[in-house]
Structure 1
């Protein structure tokens, strides 16, 4: 009798284990489908072709977070403004799920739409901030917007809680952009975002990036930014193209041990008489 009871208990235990295994498998498949959908959203919402201007080159590199179930909301964008200038944006939505990926699309589209009304980076971020607040979501985004005038090489930029840009010149100078930073988008109404102006000299580079490139378990943000400054300085002195610099920066991001998206947008200005290099 005891042997039969043990056998019955064993069968019941195996049945429960089988049921639990099925539930775990179904949950894993659902979560995987959510990740795949979020990645598809990211891919479809990011731009394809970059705008062009004589003497200037744009290059991007993007590594989505595919560790576990993390899917971030990083984005980059570049488009022609009504006045002939070029608008550049890069940013990061708080959160790592399908909602973050969808919100990223809303922010990017909002920036593009409002850029048809104003090309001033500070006013553009202020208007986008107010727009996002009307959506009634708990999500927020950090962002940098840059306006390039190809005729003069002047860059006007504004930041909303985002990490600073990196610059380098052909004569060997390089550093982190020193500009004021307002709060992230979607948090506080009535916010002003200061605008900083600088000129991208011939042979120089300007690098926009997200924190996944420079911050992670293996490297703090100061060390990560210093790494990008060194790469940008070497690239400018060596006359390296924007594409090669973007590749080097995203490759260096592997050292931070990040589990977040990593996006890099590089703007390069040709030296006088130089051949066009990507």
Structure 2
């Protein structure tokens, strides 16, 4: 409930003074705090001054709004013009909290004007007192703030020192991490590069991979000087020019660094700039295995040259390259010897009346390239032809030697006019006795003049393929005997199949049809399809071209990791009168 304490009309300064005195009296009797009372009166005075400046008559309304539960309340002072059309500069009521109800002033406020003037000084004194107390508090806080500032400054100095130390530690850690990451990167590169280089046993492939690995990240150019090639006359008798660093490295067996600024790299000699590369440093590293095989010369990718870590990595890589090159050289010598031995075992095909023969031997496109595959064809005293194809397990000289032994033994057994099955039985016993750790597959076929059939026996060998005179193709799928040399006794069986004029018997080793990812059956099916495309005129006029045509769809579109032997035995349609081989 609102209690109206009074209403005053204000048209002059005197009216304003009496109204102000009335508000002062109400605030004083309502026990308003001195500071609140002074704030209220100051605001009221300012508002009265603005009202008088407008020149119209105003009305001041003084009201008390009691609190709901406490004895005090709120004193509200409102000013509004008596003329509704007059402007209202500010009609928001002024308010002041009271601790008890104020005394009613009515319209006798003029009698309280002297008291209001005296209380104005009291209000000012109260405000000044509060200001003095606040100044003391401010001074106290200023001193506390000064002490705090001193502590903050000292703390900032400590924090700055700690931050500097932390930055230095962080930088040191980042540098250590960067060095560790670079070392890891160099080791990873060394491992990957070593695996790529040692995966090949070819000089040319090793050098190509080395160039691909080092250029352009570690060198803008590299040169490999191999002493053995130069002693053999090089390529087309060309004389190669080498840097002085490479020559010194070859003479001393120690890496050399040629640059206008000595680097003092560990284990590396310093030389003046190279005449062949005056603007960029050159690093010459000996290639060493059990002997010094050459020098690797690298031109730096930038003017800064090679750092210590990179130089150590390159020296180790060069050591592994030297070993790989030496292994490749020894392998090539070993391969050439074995291949020469194996090819010496492959005989020329005999001229046989009524037949055309063609054979192909292809070493593996990967790996050692030397295996135990062989073919043979020879005539016997009774005029019959014996055709043989076989495969000794394993690769290398040992397999080639065993293959030669089997070929020689087979010819010896054939002189005694044994059947294909008897020959294989004797070979089986011989291999079990001489080479218990090696096995072999073989198929032997006998053709007699005037007989339109072939007698054959197989020891674990892939089935032969027959192309008939009408172009149909079939496999000789009778169950073969065990592989030669298997540690079990075995007596092989002869099989007889029709082979009319115009027909072709295709003998082959598993390297022609077997692929690791697919097995052997899909390859045999491809061979059957390829044999069906051959024509009888082609087989009789140019059996060698027919053999190439048969190989092409099976091998030339992919690499093979085993040797391949192929033997074509074609029965002429013209009978015995054509005796060309």
Report the secondary structure of 2:426's partner residue. Answer: helix
- Equivalent of 1:266, from 541, 551, 568? 568
Report the secondary structure of 1:82's partner residue. Answer: coil
- Deviation of 1:66 after TM superposition, in Å, equals 4.2
Query: Is 1:243 aligned to 2:544, yes or no?
Result: yes
Task: Give 1:14-163 correspondences, 5 Å limit.
Answer: 16-48=316-348, 50-163=349-462
Query: Residues 250 and 263 of structure 1 are in contact (CA less than 8 Å); yes or no, is this contact kept in structure 2?
Result: no
Instruction: Give deviations 1:202-260, integer Å, cap 9, x for gaps.
Output: 11111000111111246542222222222323325565333332111222331463211
- Equivalent of 2:470, from 171, 177, 181? 171
Match for residue 7 of structure 1? 265
- Deviation of 1:82 after TM superposition, in Å, equals 3.1
Query: Residues 362 and 564 of structure 2 are in contact (CA less than 8 Å); yes or no, is this contact kept in structure 1?
Result: yes
Q: Which moved more, 1:206-215 or 1:239-248?
A: 239-248
Instruction: Give deviations 1:62-102, integer Å, cap 9, x for gaps.
Output: 11124233422110000112332111100111112221112
- Deviation of 1:174 after TM superposition, in Å, equals 1.4
More helix, by proportion: 2
Q: What stretches of structure 1 of length at least 5 have no aligned partner?
A: none
- Deviation of 1:117 after TM superposition, in Å, equals 2.0
Query: Residues 119 and 147 of structure 1 are in contact (CA less than 8 Å); yes or no, is this contact kept in structure 2?
Result: no
Alpha-carbon distance change, 38 to 26 in structure 1, aligned in 2, over 3 angstroms? same
What number of residue pairs does the alignment pair up? 274
Match for residue 233 of structure 1? 532
Query: Residues 62 and 250 of structure 1 are in contact (CA less than 8 Å); yes or no, is this contact kept in structure 2?
Result: no
Alpha-carbon distance change, 39 to 253 in structure 1, aligned in 2, over 3 angstroms? farther
Match for residue 553 of structure 2? 252
- Deviation of 1:104 after TM superposition, in Å, equals 1.1
Alpha-carbon distance change, 52 to 219 in structure 1, aligned in 2, over 3 angstroms? farther
Query: Residues 465 and 506 of structure 2 are in contact (CA less than 8 Å); yes or no, is this contact kept in structure 1?
Result: yes
Q: What stretches of structure 2 of length at least 5 have no aligned partner?
A: 1-261, 268-307
Q: TM-score under structure 1 normalisation? A: 0.88
Q: Which moved more, 1:4-13 or 1:137-146?
A: 4-13
Greater radius of gyration (CA): 2
Alpha-carbon distance change, 135 to 22 in structure 1, aligned in 2, over 3 angstroms? same
Query: Residues 216 and 256 of structure 1 are in contact (CA less than 8 Å); yes or no, is this contact kept in structure 2?
Result: no
**Cα distance in structure 2, aligned partners of 1:44 and 1:145:** 21
**Cα distance in structure 2, aligned partners of 1:214 and 1:136:** 27
Q: TM-score under structure 2 normalisation? A: 0.44
**Cα distance in structure 2, aligned partners of 1:40 and 1:132:** 23
Query: Residues 205 and 232 of structure 1 are in contact (CA less than 8 Å); yes or no, is this contact kept in structure 2?
Result: no
**Cα distance in structure 1, aligned partners of 2:401 and 2:554:** 25
Q: Which moved more, 1:191-200 or 1:66-75?
A: 66-75
